[in-house]
Amino acid sequence: MKVRLIIISLIFSATTLLAQEKVTPEMINNTRALRALMHSDPHRPSWHFVSPENEAMPFDPNGGIFWNGKYHLGYIYQNLENGKRQHCWGHAVTTDLFHWTLYPDMIKGVEVGIFSGGAFLDKEGVPHIMYHGWGSSSNLMVYSTDKDLKTWKKFEGNPILKTPEEGDPMYKKYKAFDPDGWYDKEADAYYQLSAGDPAGLFKSKDMLKWDYLGDFIDQDNRMRHDFEDLACPDFFKIGDKYMLLFISHALGAQYYLGDFKNEKFTVEKHGRMNWPGGTLFAPEEMKDDKGRHIMWSWVIHRTPKHLKYKGWSGIMSMPRVLSLSKKGELLIAPPVEVEKLRLEGISSKNISLASNQEKTLAIKGKALEIKAEFKGGQNSEYGVKVFCSPDGKEETIIKYDPINKEIVIDFIHSSKNAPVKMGAVIMGQTSDLAQLGFREMVSEQRVPFELKKGETLQLNIFIDKAIIEVFANGRQCITQVVYPEMENSNEVKIFSGDEKIKVKSVEVWKMATTNPY
């Protein structure tokens, strides 16, 4: 009788819980059906961090912080609240940069919606996040005293910045948008960089009252096109310099390097991380316990219209490690942790290719790491082909152009529905680019890169179903989305142009799947 009462009690409790949480069998079945639909998508990456479900547009990484041995990364996604589409921040956590656990949302249901921002520690070491309250024309803040950062509280002094309205003496001087914050120990002060064009710098002693210090970037030394804005900023010290990661909505991820003294950022160098045809967007950096500066970016989907929606959208780039050389040039490398994903592989050395020859490697796959070192000529292109079909109808070419001194990803035949073309601009109009000689649509992404005297070409290529990331000699990185449609487009080839070349070494590994959702 006692056992029977316990069973009845458990059944009653479970039924009550279902009723209280409004969890129904239909919801559970629909969750399983959605998971099955997403995993049926041949273009859904298997080891990159992707949107757990639904269409994340935008899918900006934000609020990155290394805390108590874990990497915490926020990401924008859209929730339906009372029938309205609302921007929230999801929360993903990893200890090895590739296997992720989903935590409760970082920021949800606050104001109208949450756009980009960044994390920092206050003078007492408490994690804070500045973010833009979309729809409220203000920047806001939350903080966490939870050792796992699962719970975030609204800052009592919100809003920390509002866009000046007409009639205000500061009207049109700046606006509240995509903030980045930090605490400066030497100045015993907080700084807030609020994005826009121009971007404004602010200072505070208590994070309650903020004084406007002026434009963060000297408008006479922009080093970027006049039509480009400055959004999603992330400012930090790297080596003996300071770096500002940011985007323009038109051309995507880019950076400044320079000095920050007397509350002035003096720009010395400007560089891009995305070029026409690519979609690398909204970079986010965090510094870990090893002193590494690790960056993620949102890689925007450009799924062809004829491919059916499979219940998800949103790819995060693989983490990349940023550092400076002794000469002050930016170095970009994959983290060593990626080697733990390597499965079976092949290795060959000293392969000679005659002019206009290609060789198919003895390994196939659509989720691979490829390392290749070339000693090529001075007048002809050479490189690697991926996502190749046996009949040659599909292939994506990764090559070095020694004449124009560029790394090129040629995706004109990346799908059987060739010629494949993608927009030169990520968001906005192409008219400004047209004035600079850019085409509206392109079939290749061309990236400036010059081999030094006597230097071999060293490519570290990562492919994952729809995304390609190419690291070149540790100094450049190029990212591209492609959509091969043939199931057997899984061959890898090395090739030469009009000159004979030597492939000093080539290694290829299949990659383990890390996405549990």
Model pLDDT for residues 216-265, shown as the tens digit of each residue: 999 999 999 989 999 999 999 999 999 999 999 999 999 999 999 999 99
Give the closest residue to 246 by CA, choosing from 238, 259, 255, 237: 255
Write down the pLDDT at residue 109: 64
Given pLDDT bands bounded at 50, 70 and 90, which one contains residue 111?
low
**Does the pLDDT of residue 16 top 50, yes or no?**
no
Work out the mean pLDDT of the chain and round it to a whole number. Answer: 92
Q: What are phi and psi of 267, to 5 degrees?
A: -80, 130
Residue 367 scores a pLDDT above 90: yes
Distance CA 411, CA 445 (A): 8
Q: Specify whether the CB–CB gap between 514 and 98 falls below 8 A.
A: yes
The owner of tokens 């249901």 is: 109
Tokens of 114: 């949450």
Confidence check: pLDDT of 14 > 60 = no
Q: Which of 186, 242, 251 is nearest to 217 (CA)?
A: 242
- Residue 359 pairs with which residues in a beta bridge? 494
Q: What is the DSSP letter of 126?
A: -
- Token readout for 171 is 């009207």
Q: Which of 444, 477, 445 minimizes the C-alpha distance to 458?
A: 477
Q: What pLDDT is recorded for position 51?
A: 95
DSSP state of 421: -
pLDDT at 439: 80
CATH code 3.30.450.20 for 60-216: no
If phi over 0 gives left and psi between -120 and 50 gives alpha, with beta otherwise, what is residue 143?
Answer: beta
Instruction: Show the tokens assigned to 499.
Output: 């000159």
Q: Which H or E run contains 5?
A: helix 2-21
Q: Which residues pair with 153 in a beta bridge?
A: 143
Is 15 or 453 the better-scoring residue by pLDDT?
Answer: 453
CATH dotted code for 342-511? 2.60.120.560
pLDDT at 80: 78
Q: What is the pLDDT of residues 81-104, one digit of tens each?
A: 777 788 999 999 999 999 999 999
Distance CA 283, CA 301 (A): 16
Relative to beta strand 61-67, strand 264-272 is: unpaired
The answer to whether the peptide bond before residue 198 is cis (omega within 30 degrees of 0) is: yes
Look at residue 79 in the predicted model and tell me its pLDDT. 85
Query: DSSP states of 7-50 as a string?
Result: HHHHHHHHHHHHHHHT--HHHHHHHHHHHHHHHT-TTS-SSS-B
Per-residue b or e along 460-478, where b marks 16 or more CB atoms closer than 10 Å to that residue's CB = bbbbbbbbbbbbbbbbbbb
With 0-12 CB in 10 A as exposed, 13-18 as middle and 19+ as buried, what is 125? Answer: exposed
| Matching residue, tokens 């700084």 | 191
SS3 content of the chain, % helix, strand, coil (to 5): 10, 45, 45
pLDDT digits (tens, 9 = 90+) for 398-441: 999 999 999 999 999 999 999 999 999 999 766 667 777 778 89
Is residue 405 within 8 Å of 260, Cβ to Cβ? no
| pLDDT of the residue at 112 | 63
Query: For position 6, what pLDDT does the model report?
Result: 35
Given pLDDT bands bounded at 50, 70 and 90, which one contains residue 2?
very low
* Euclidean distance between CA atoms 113 and 79, whole angstroms: 10
CA distances to 356, 381, 445, 459 from 498, in Å: 6, 8, 22, 20
Helix ranges (DSSP H) in 225-332: none
CB 195, CB 176: distance < 8 Å = no
Domain residue extents for the chain:
1-40, 60-216, 342-511
Predicted pLDDT of residue 5: 38
Greatest Cα-to-Cα distance within the chain, rounded to the nearest angstrom: 89
Nearest CA among 118, 264, 262, 123 for reference residue 206: 123
**Sequence-ordered list of residues with C-beta below 8 angstroms from that of 14, at least 6 positions apart, any chain:** none
Pairing mode of beta strands 367-375, 476-481: unpaired
* Residue 88, strand partner residues: 77
Distance between CA atoms of residues 408 and 448, nearest Å: 9
**How far apart are the C-alpha atoms of 23 and 21, rounded to whole Å?**
5
At a CB cut-off of 8 Å and minimum separation 6, what does 420 contact? 411, 412, 413, 414, 443, 482
Tens digit of each residue's pLDDT (9 = 90 or more) over 59-79: 999 999 999 999 999 999 998
**DSSP H or E segment with residue 168:** none
Report pLDDT for 450: 97
Helix (H, G, I), strand (E, B) or coil at 308: coil
User: For residue 19, what pLDDT is reported?
Assistant: 46
Going by the DSSP 8-state scheme, the letter that residue 338 receives in this structure is G
| pLDDT over 50 at 40, yes or no | yes
**Contact status, residue 147 vs residue 154, Cβ threshold 8 Å:** no
DSSP summary character for residue 340: G
- Does residue 281 contact residue 300 with C-beta atoms inside 8 Å? yes
